[in-house]
Amino acid sequence: MKKLTLVRHGKSDWSMDGQPDIDRPLNTRGYNDSHRMAKEFIESNPRPQVFVSSPAIRAISTALIFAGEFDLPKSEIRIEPTLYDTDAEDYLNFIRSLDEKTESVMIFGHNPSISDFYTLFSDQFLEIPTCSMVVFEVSASKWSEISPMNCKVKELRTPKKQAV
């Protein structure tokens, strides 16, 4: 069984007028939530084999915090441009392209893509809050075969609530 975890980046800082969206950093709450959520994830889950992040600073920062909590070298985080300014279909296409030897992956990205992906695979609309994690179990033997028929939500964890 394969495991997919989507993490929406932590809360970002909007204080700098005119800053390009891709360059927005995390704010204090974003940093704090990222550390706490990473520690909570570790309590009940093994370290994913692959960490992938959007190239946006806030997503990379969230990934770096999680990697640090897992003692994963920064160099192990893969930056994937197709995960920025995109949609759930692009996320799905990226996931379908993963190496079949990979059994578990953690992807750090954005809304609305993560919420739309959740809706596609759960048949329930939910606006996924910042720094939330959605863990999916995939019963397909190949990532290329992932579909709503073989991919189910195992856990949804948000910073304001515990596991849902």
pLDDT of amino acid 164 = 46
Q: From CA 24, how far away is CA 11, in angstroms rounded?
A: 10
Which runs of E-coded beta strand occur in the chain? 2-8, 50-53, 77-79, 104-109, 133-138, 151-157
Please name the residue that has the structure tokens 């893969």.
78
Asked whether the whole model's pTM tops 0.85, one would answer: yes
What are the residue boundaries of the structural domains of the chain, listed by start?
2-12+22-157
pLDDT of amino acid 31 = 97
Q: List, for residues 82-117, the tens digit of each pLDDT value.
A: 999 999 999 999 999 999 999 999 999 999 999 999
pLDDT of amino acid 123 = 85
Whether the per-residue pLDDT at 143 is higher than 50: the answer is yes
CATH 1.20.1250.20 fits 2-12+22-157, yes or no: no
Under 8 Å between Cβ of 133 and 127:
no
Q: From CA 69, how far away is CA 50, in angstroms rounded?
A: 15
Q: List, for residues 45-54, the tens digit of each pLDDT value.
A: 999 999 999 9
pLDDT of amino acid 160 = 87
Whether the per-residue pLDDT at 67 is higher than 80: the answer is yes
